[in-house]
């Protein structure tokens, strides 16, 4: 039993860097494991048995060849923009938030999920779809990061730059979010009550929701947004109010509520979202818009003066070889411009040109719309970032001739399904 | 054999290596062939007074080693082996041992007493050898001092070896009585008094009941305090050791003795010899430890539950205690900073002062400041050093508000001293104190421009090794403080200079002294960690530099074992540095791709580092590879063939369990990097992981991460995990049962249990999510009810920590998500899906709430549909 050692650490830091390296490695691994878990949890659930082809690759990069210089630099600095994993695209936003001016416009213009216009009623409307009233206003992305909030219109230009109660949306003490935290919301800015109506959630507190089903995104949107105080009335550090839009299952009751119900906002048609669909940039057939005179003031397109022209007008993109195409991917061909005309005019590939449709020339072959000859009207508004989509042209055409009516939507609902869940209502309506 | 055992034992200690080797082999053979005879021969040798002392001592030592081992699994084997030995043989061995206690040869007695304690350690818990303690006690009644002494020593070892649970109170009382009698001033033989005092040190753990009785406690304390005053140095020292042990075991019983103890310790610190004075200071350090712990617990939410109240002994003693400690600071030894093992009264006093500062906080400052002001500019280096050391010691504890006014003045003064003071010892302490300032006061409180501080520290890094090492340490904490500041780091303007200066330090001829090279690399790591967007290009340039250094260590040939050890250490530092760089550059998108160009060469180097250590892999290289794999993603696949053998080696490293644990973590990194491309390696990996789990040799702390790793693998390979289900699920199941059966556990056990639960839950999450969307989901249905039962039992136990709670509610969601309506009825029957889910939804903890919201969503889908 020798004397007991009593030497204490002397003039040494209490923690060795080696232990610190171990600890940091463990923290990194734990964080990454939890990221993987969260990613797995956000993937579409097996609760829904979906054919895989109904998910077109959401990740395809949608870049035109004629990118401008600033944008090309951005690409060079971040080769991952071309890659297609969800995390990678998720990081695009961190990159993109540093872009300025036209490069930023160009980038953001391609990030919104664009609805197709409803030409036919999709099957299983009541089982697989949500319906909600679309607030009238400007569709935009709202991004909160680094203590400020920016909203950008569909063409990428900035609408507002403002403080908000979204995570990291203002430089205040109360909103204590780490600097890398950011949020991306898909909104409609409704002028009359100066409110951003959030119709979809793309990223929340740095977590991407791209690969989540609409069902999950809406669930998350409804549970998260109000937590932040973003739905509160405006204040010094919160210039605009945010609000959610009531979303209904697309059954008889839901459809009626969305169609006839009164809302705080002016309605502009109905939106239909497939509940299993991921957030996909660009046009998607899994999110649809439908309008009629009762639920929208803007069923028929207006010209630049705001009048509904006598003949339907379309905006198409001029290609290198003179072809006139829609904004779809792949583009749909609606006509062709003679080489001589192109040479005489100042048109260049990529220009958006406005044409009048000549009703007599239009044909529907095997369910496909063909416009035939077109009458040139002029160059489209410079602010435009896209040509019209095929579905829009088609919808506008049918709206003028044989519109898809609300009764058609109701009629498409599966009566058996209704009988189980809403038997009383069904009898009343029938 | 019996005849020649003496010679064999002597040969085993021969200077002739071959004779030694032969003797060792024949002893091993003897043990393997006839264990009973082996025990009898050795105990007979030990007991035989006619045999040479060297053979007797070795016989005893071998006996001790055949009864006990460090590794728990081997220890268990040896215990079983002894217990199953023939009764007669055991009785004879024990007889010999007891008989040896009366031997005139003191070495034989002392050896025997240790062996007796080992046997007692095995037998008393099995209620065997009941007569041992009474036999020993009757020995003490004998008049022969040497027998008395040996017996007291035996009782001391016995108390060290046996848990108090296996000795009844009656016997404890008798042991204590015998020991205290031996300590008493009436005992004339100093050897007996010393053995008795040392025995009391070990017996204190048995004296719970006696310390709760006022009279008995008074008596025990009086005997101990008296023993601190004996003329014999060793007895005084042993008595102070007892006081130190009492201070931590019976803190709450000390109130009425503190005044006397202060007088005794103050006298010892002031005038006694160093070994005694050191113990006297240690008494106060130990009281500080107790009060810091108690106050810590007061600070946490459970103040009402705290077992021991704080008696604020330090606060009460403060006016007398602080001057006593300040006096010790002036008793420095020349060059104590150059001696790694140095421990003297000045060092102990300063350390104690630091603990006092942590215990009382602000109150210490006015008591120490006059001492500092008086001495800091004196011509005698001892006074300047003592003043600086006093200041450095009190930086942790008092509030920043209390210290800030002094800090800025002091820092200015010290930066000058670092350059100008002629004495190395003063500079060493000054640099250390500057480091402490940055450690506890970083950020806005320091008014002096970082640029000024840096230029002094960089210059100081060229000083003698011990001073340069402290300067590196100061830079380490300065950098660490800058980490939290954010994007614009004050280090940025001099970043390249800092890196250059640190690299120069690593190349110094004398960098091997005073841990200087290690300090320089560790500081380099910290500087890399706090690089900003602005300075990461400089870190990028560092990559090839460090790789060249590592390459150089691999080229060295024909090293001596000493050189090899140094090379190994340097490789560790370089791999550690690369690991930090990988983590830094690999985590940011803009730097990741440039950095990944180096992956080929880097992997080549790491594999060569592994290759030059035949049997074990290098922990640092392993960690670096994990970080690299995660950054490289799928591209890491091409290195798997070359790396896999070392991965296997790491997974089989039971002895260095840290390495095994780290390798398990790296498997997780690989899973996330490679996704299903890891599949071809999974058979091997799973085999090793399953073996690891079944092994009782592997340290238990590795087991929870192995379960988590199952989850990582399943998430990566999805339904391909199918073939491992029949092995993994039963293991998860039995571990789950074990983890809910923890009754009356201590804090450490509760923590481990929660780690285990977390591992199990992460495994389930990974497996469930891995099978999602697979046609084979049904394979998991048979396990669903067990998993839900596990969740229910966790909820009912009510001792989950937040991490487990989050993981558990996550598993509930995963189960509902993957199994859907099939598991609906099971889920709706479980408590977890109702009360537990509700509780989590109401949690204040953001992460728990988030998981719960998700689980609620999944559960409601599964139940409704």
Among the partner-chain residues B487, B572, B668, the one whose CB lies closest to the CB of A33 is B668
Among the partner-chain residues A1, A13, A22, the one whose CB lies closest to the CB of B153 is A1
Give residue for tokens 């930066």. B415
Those residues with Cβ within 8 angstroms of residue A146's Cβ, 6 or more apart along the chain or in another chain = A97, A168, A179, A182
> Which residues of chain B neighbour A18 with C-beta distances below 8 Å?
522, 572, 576, 620
Residue ranges of B 434-453 with Cβ closer than 8 A to chain A: 435, 439
Q: Which residue has the higher pLDDT, A347 or B58?
A: B58
Domains of chain A: 93-297 (3.30.470.30), 300-410 (2.40.50)
Closest CA to B428 of B390, B393, B401, B389: B389
For residues B803 and B8, what is the distance between their CA atoms, to the nearest angstrom?
Answer: 59
Check pLDDT > 70 for residue B2: no
Check CB contact of B349 with chain A, cutoff 8 Å.
no
Check CB contact of B238 with chain A, cutoff 8 Å.
yes
pLDDT for B685 equals 96
pLDDT for A89 equals 39
For residues A120 and A391, what is the distance between their CA atoms, to the nearest angstrom?
Answer: 10
Closest-CA distance, A6 to chain B, in angstroms, reads 7
Q: Do B865 and A36 touch (CB under 8 A)?
A: no
For residues B93 and B99, what is the distance between their CA atoms, to the nearest angstrom?
Answer: 10
Q: Do B347 and A179 touch (CB under 8 A)?
A: no
> Which residues of chain A neighbour B435 with C-beta distances below 8 Å?
13
For residues B644 and B681, what is the distance between their CA atoms, to the nearest angstrom?
Answer: 8
3-class SS at B555? helix
User: Of A39-53, B387-401, B735-749, which range is least confident?
Assistant: A39-53
Check pLDDT > 80 for residue B865: no
Q: Which residue of A has its CA nearest to B776?
A: A46
Q: With cut-offs at 50, 70 and 90, classify the pLDDT of residue B462.
A: very high
Q: Which residue of B has its CA nearest to A45?
A: B817
Closest-CA distance, B24 to chain A, in angstroms, reads 28
Closest-CA distance, B842 to chain A, in angstroms, reads 13
Q: What is the mean pLDDT of residues B834-860?
A: 89
pLDDT for B499 equals 96
Q: Which of B154, B522, B524, B527 has the most A C-beta neighbours within 10 Å, making it the best mutation to test the interface with A? A: B522
pLDDT for B418 equals 94
DSSP letter for each residue of A83-103 = ---HHHHHHHHHHHTT--HHH
Tokens representing A104?
A: 């930023």
Tokens representing A221?
A: 């949107």
φ, ψ for residue A262, nearest 5 deg: -95, 135
Those residues with Cβ within 8 angstroms of residue A217's Cβ, 6 or more apart along the chain or in another chain = A200, A201, A202, A209, A279
pLDDT for A104 equals 63
Check pLDDT > 90 for residue B775: no
Give residue for tokens 């003698």. B464
Q: Do B854 and A41 touch (CB under 8 A)?
A: yes
pLDDT for B340 equals 76
Sheet holding A113-117, edge to edge: A113-117, A282-290, A267-274, A129-135, A248-249
Check CB contact of B393 with chain A, cutoff 8 Å.
no
Element (H, E) at B760: helix B747-771
> Which residues of chain A neighbour B711 with C-beta distances below 8 Å?
33
> Which residues of chain A neighbour B593 with C-beta distances below 8 Å?
79-80
Among the partner-chain residues A11, A33, A79, the one whose CB lies closest to the CB of B593 is A79
pLDDT for A43 equals 58
Q: Centre a 10 Å sphere on the Cβ of residue A123 and count the other Cβ atoms it contains.
A: 10
The β-bridge relationship of strands A113-117 and A282-290 is parallel
Check pLDDT > 70 for residue B512: yes
Closest CA to B552 of B536, B537, B538, B566: B566
Q: With cut-offs at 50, 70 and 90, classify the pLDDT of residue B107.
A: very high
> Which residues of chain A neighbour B665 with C-beta distances below 8 Å?
25-26, 29
For residues B664 and B707, what is the distance between their CA atoms, to the nearest angstrom?
Answer: 10
For residues A256 and A173, what is the distance between their CA atoms, to the nearest angstrom?
Answer: 45
For residues B153 and B147, what is the distance between their CA atoms, to the nearest angstrom?
Answer: 10
Tokens representing B7?
A: 């010679």
pLDDT per residue over B258-304, tens digit each?
Answer: 999 999 999 999 999 999 999 999 999 999 999 998 888 776 654 44
Closest CA to B815 of A391, A46, A424: A46
For residues B474 and B47, what is the distance between their CA atoms, to the nearest angstrom?
Answer: 59
What's the residue count for chain A? Answer: 430
pLDDT per residue over B647-663, tens digit each?
Answer: 999 999 988 888 999 99
DSSP symbol at B12: T
Q: State the helix-helix crossing angle for B424-441 and B400-420, rounded to 10 degrees.
A: 150
CB A201 within 8 A of CB A187: no
Give residue for tokens 């502009």. A268
Considering the domain B720-864, what is its CATH architecture?
A: Alpha Horseshoe (1.25)
3-class SS at B265? helix
Those residues with Cβ within 8 angstroms of residue B137's Cβ, 6 or more apart along the chain or in another chain = B174, B175, B178
For residues A28 and B364, what is the distance between their CA atoms, to the nearest angstrom?
Answer: 40
Q: Which residue of B has its CA nearest to A11?
A: B432
Check pLDDT > 50 for residue B427: yes
Check pLDDT > 80 for residue B846: yes
Q: Do A29 and B669 touch (CB under 8 A)?
A: yes
DSSP letter for each residue of A141-200 = EEEEETTEEEEEETTS-EEEEE--SSTT-S--SS----TT-EEEEEEEEETTTTEEEEEE
Tell me the CA distances in angstroms from B818 to B353, B617, B758, B830, one per residue in order. Answer: 59, 39, 20, 17
CB B241 within 8 A of CB B233: no
Q: In chain B, pLDDT over 70 holds for what percent of residues?
A: 96
All residue ranges of chain A with pLDDT < 50 are 44-91, 94, 175-176, 419-430
pLDDT for A69 equals 30
Residue ranges of B 703-732 with Cβ closer than 8 A to chain A: 708, 711-712, 715
Sheet holding A374-379, edge to edge: A333-336, A323-325, A313-318, A352-357, A374-379
Domain boundaries, chain B: 720-864
Interface predicted TM-score of the whole assembly (ipTM), two decimals: 0.76
Q: Do A8 and B285 touch (CB under 8 A)?
A: yes
Check CB contact of B589 with chain A, cutoff 8 Å.
yes
pLDDT for B440 equals 84
Q: Which of A23, A40, A83, A213 has the most B C-beta neighbours within 10 Å, making it the best mutation to test the interface with B? A: A40
For residues B382 and A130, what is the distance between their CA atoms, to the nearest angstrom?
Answer: 82
Backbone Cα Rg of chain A: 26
CB B478 within 8 A of CB B457: yes
Across chain B, what does the average pLDDT equal? 90
Give the A:B interface size as CB pairs under 8 Å.
144
Torsion of CA B805, B806, B809, B814, to 10 degrees: -140
pLDDT for B439 equals 87
Q: What is the mean pLDDT of residues B143-169?
A: 90
Q: What is the mean pLDDT of residues B430-439?
A: 92
Q: Which residue has the higher pLDDT, B147 or B301?
A: B147
pLDDT for A42 equals 67
Closest-CA distance, A128 to chain B, in angstroms, reads 14
Q: Do A41 and B576 touch (CB under 8 A)?
A: no
- The region that residue A124 occupies, defined by phi over 0 for left and psi between -120 and 50 for alpha, beta otherwise, is left
By CB atoms closer than 10 A (0-12, 13-18, 19+), residue B135 is: middle
Check pLDDT > 90 for residue B99: yes
Check CB contact of B88 with chain A, cutoff 8 Å.
no
Check pLDDT > 50 for residue B732: yes
Q: In chain B, pLDDT over 90 holds for what percent of residues?
A: 70
């Amino acid at each position: 039993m020798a004397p007991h050692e009593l030497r204490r650490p002397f003039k040494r830091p209490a923690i060795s860097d080696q232990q610190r390296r171990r600890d940091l490695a463990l923290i990194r691994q734990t964080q990454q494991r939890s990221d993987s878990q969260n990613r797995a949890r956000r993937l579409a659930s097996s609760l829904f048995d979906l054919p895989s082809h109904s998910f077109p690759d959401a990740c395809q990069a949608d870049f035109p060849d004629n990118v401008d210089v600033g944008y090309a630099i951005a690409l060079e600095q971040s080769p991952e923009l071309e890659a297609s994993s969800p995390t990678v695209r998720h990081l695009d936003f961190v990159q993109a938030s540093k872009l300025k001016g036209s490069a930023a416009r160009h980038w953001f213009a391609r990030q919104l999920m664009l609805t197709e216009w409803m030409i036919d009623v999709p099957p299983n409307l009541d089982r697989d779809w949500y319906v909600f009233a679309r607030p009238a206003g400007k569709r935009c992305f709202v991004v909160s990061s680094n203590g400020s909030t920016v909203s950008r219109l569909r063409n990428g230009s900035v609408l507002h730059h403002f403080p908000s109660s979204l995570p990291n949306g203002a430089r205040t003490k109360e909103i204590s979010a780490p600097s890398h935290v950011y949020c991306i919301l898909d909104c409609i800015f409704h002028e009359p009550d100066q409110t951003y109506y959030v119709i979809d959630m793309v990223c929340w507190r740095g977590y991407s929701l791209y690969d989540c089903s609409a069902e999950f995104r809406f669930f998350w949107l409804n549970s998260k947004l109000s937590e932040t105080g973003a739905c509160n009335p405006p204040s010094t550090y919160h210039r605009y109010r945010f609000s959610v839009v009531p979303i209904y299952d697309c059954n008889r009751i839901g459809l009626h509520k969305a169609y006839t119900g009164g809302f705080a906002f002016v309605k502009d048609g109905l939106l239909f979202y497939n509940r299993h669909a991921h957030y996909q940039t660009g046009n998607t057939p899994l999110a649809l818009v439908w309008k009629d005179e009762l639920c929208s003031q803007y069923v028929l397109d207006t010209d630049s003066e705001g009048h509904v022209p006598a003949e339907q007008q379309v905006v198409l993109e001029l290609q290198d070889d003179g072809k006139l195409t829609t904004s779809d991917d792949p583009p749909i061909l609606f006509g062709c411009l003679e080489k001589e005309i192109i040479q005489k005019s100042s048109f260049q590939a990529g220009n958006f040109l406005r044409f009048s449709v000549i009703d007599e020339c239009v044909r529907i072959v095997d369910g496909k719309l063909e416009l035939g000859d077109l009458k040139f009207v002029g160059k489209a508004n410079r602010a435009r970032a896209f040509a019209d989509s095929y579905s829009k042209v088609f919808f506008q055409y049918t709206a003028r001739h044989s519109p898809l009516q609300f009764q058609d939507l109701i009629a498409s609902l599966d009566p058996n399904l209704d009988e189980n869940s809403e038997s009383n209502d069904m009898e009343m309506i029938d | 054999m019996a005849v020649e055992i003496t010679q064999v034992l002597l040969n085993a200690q021969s200077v002739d290596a071959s004779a030694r080797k032969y003797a060792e082999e024949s002893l091993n053979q003897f043990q393997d062939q006839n264990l009973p005879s082996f025990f009898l021969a050795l105990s007979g040798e030990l007991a035989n007074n006619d045999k040479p002392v060297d053979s007797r001592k070795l016989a005893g030592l071998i006996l001790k080693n055949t009864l006990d081992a460090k590794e728990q699994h081997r220890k268990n084997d040896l215990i079983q082996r002894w217990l199953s030995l023939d009764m007669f043989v055991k009785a004879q061995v024990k007889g010999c041992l007891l008989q040896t206690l009366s031997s005139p040869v003191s070495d034989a007695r002392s050896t025997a007493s240790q062996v007796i304690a080992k046997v007692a350690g095995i037998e008393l818990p099995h209620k065997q050898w009941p007569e041992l303690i009474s036999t020993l006690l009757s020995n003490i009644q004998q008049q022969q001092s040497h027998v008395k002494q040996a017996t007291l020593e035996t009782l001391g070892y016995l108390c060290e070896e046996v848990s108090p649970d296996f000795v009844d109170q009656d016997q404890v009382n008798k042991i204590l009585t015998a020991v205290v009698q031996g300590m008493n001033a009436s005992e004339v033989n100093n050897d007996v008094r010393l053995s008795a005092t040392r025995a009391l040190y070990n017996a204190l753990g048995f004296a719970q009941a006696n310390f709760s009785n006022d009279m008995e406690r008074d008596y025990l304390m009086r005997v101990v305090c008296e023993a601190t005053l004996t003329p014999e140095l060793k007895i005084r020292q042993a008595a102070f050791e007892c006081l130190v042990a009492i201070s931590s075991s019976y803190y709450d019983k000390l109130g009425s003795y503190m005044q006397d103890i202060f007088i005794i310790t103050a006298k010892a610190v002031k005038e006694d010899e160093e070994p005694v004075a050191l113990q006297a200071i240690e008494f106060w350090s130990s009281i500080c430890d107790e009060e810091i712990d108690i106050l810590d617990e007061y600070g946490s939410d459970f103040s009402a539950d705290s077992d021991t109240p704080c008696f604020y002994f330090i606060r009460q003693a403060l006016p007398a205690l602080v001057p006593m400690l300040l006096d010790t600071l002036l008793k420095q030894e020349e060059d104590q900073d150059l001696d790694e093992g140095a421990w003297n009264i000045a060092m102990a006093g300063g350390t104690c002062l630091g603990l006092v500062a942590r215990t009382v906080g602000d109150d210490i400052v006015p008591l120490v400041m006059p001492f500092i002001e008086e001495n800091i500019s004196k011509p005698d280096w001892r006074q300047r050093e003592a003043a600086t050391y006093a200041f450095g010691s009190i930086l942790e504890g008092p509030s920043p508000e209390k210290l800030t006014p002094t800090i800025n003045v002091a820092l200015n003064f010290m930066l000058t001293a670092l350059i100008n003071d002629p004495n190395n010892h003063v500079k060493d302490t000054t640099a250390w104190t500057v480091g402490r300032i940055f450690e506890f006061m970083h950020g806005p409180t320091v008014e002096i421009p970082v640029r000024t501080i840096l230029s002094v520290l960089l210059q100081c890094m060229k000083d003698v090794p011990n001073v340069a090492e402290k300067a590196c340490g100061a830079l380490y904490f300065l950098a660490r403080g800058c980490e939290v500041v954010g994007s614009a780091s004050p280090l940025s303007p001099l970043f390249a200079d800092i890196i250059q200066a640190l690299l120069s330090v690593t190349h110094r001829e004398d960098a091997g002294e005073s841990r200087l090279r290690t300090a320089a690399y560790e500081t380099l790591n910290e500087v890399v960690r706090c690089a900003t967007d602005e300075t990461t290009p400089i870190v990028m340039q560092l990559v090839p530099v460090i790789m060249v250094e590592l390459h150089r260590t691999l080229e060295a040939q024909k090293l001596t074992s000493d050189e090899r050890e140094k090379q190994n250490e340097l490789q560790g530092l370089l791999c550690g540095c690369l690991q930090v760089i990988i983590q830094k550059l690999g985590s940011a998108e803009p730097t990741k791709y440039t950095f990944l160009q180096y992956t080929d060469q880097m992997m080549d180097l790491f594999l060569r580092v592994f290759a030059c250590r035949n049997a074990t892999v290098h922990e640092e290289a392993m960690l670096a590879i994990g970080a690299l794999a995660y950054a490289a993603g799928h591209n890491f696949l091409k290195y798997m063939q070359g790396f896999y053998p070392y991965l296997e080696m790491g997974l089989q490293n039971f002895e260095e369990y840290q390495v095994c644990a780290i390798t398990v973590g790296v498997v997780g990194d690989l899973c996330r990097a490679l996704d299903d491309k890891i599949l071809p390696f999974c058979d091997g990996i799973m085999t090793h992981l399953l073996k690891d789990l079944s092994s009782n040799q592997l340290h238990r702390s590795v087991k929870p991460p192995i379960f988590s790793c199952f989850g990582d693998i399943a998430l990566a390979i999805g339904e391909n995990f199918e073939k491992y289900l029949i092995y993994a699920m039963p293991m998860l199941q039995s571990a789950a049962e074990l983890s809910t059966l923890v009754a009356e556990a201590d804090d450490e056990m509760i923590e481990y249990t929660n780690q285990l639960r977390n591992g199990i839950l992460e495994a389930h999450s990974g497996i469930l999510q891995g099978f999602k969307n697979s046609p084979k989901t049904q394979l998991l249905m048979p396990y669903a009810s067990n998993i839900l039962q596990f969740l229910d039992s966790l909820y009912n136990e009510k001792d989950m920590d937040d991490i487990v709670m989050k993981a558990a509610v996550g598993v509930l969601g995963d189960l509902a998500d993957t199994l859907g309506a099939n598991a609906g009825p099971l889920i709706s029957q479980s408590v977890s899906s109702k009360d537990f889910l509700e509780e989590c939804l109401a949690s204040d903890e953001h992460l728990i709430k988030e998981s719960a919201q998700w689980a609620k969503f999944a559960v409601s889908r599964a139940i409704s549909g």
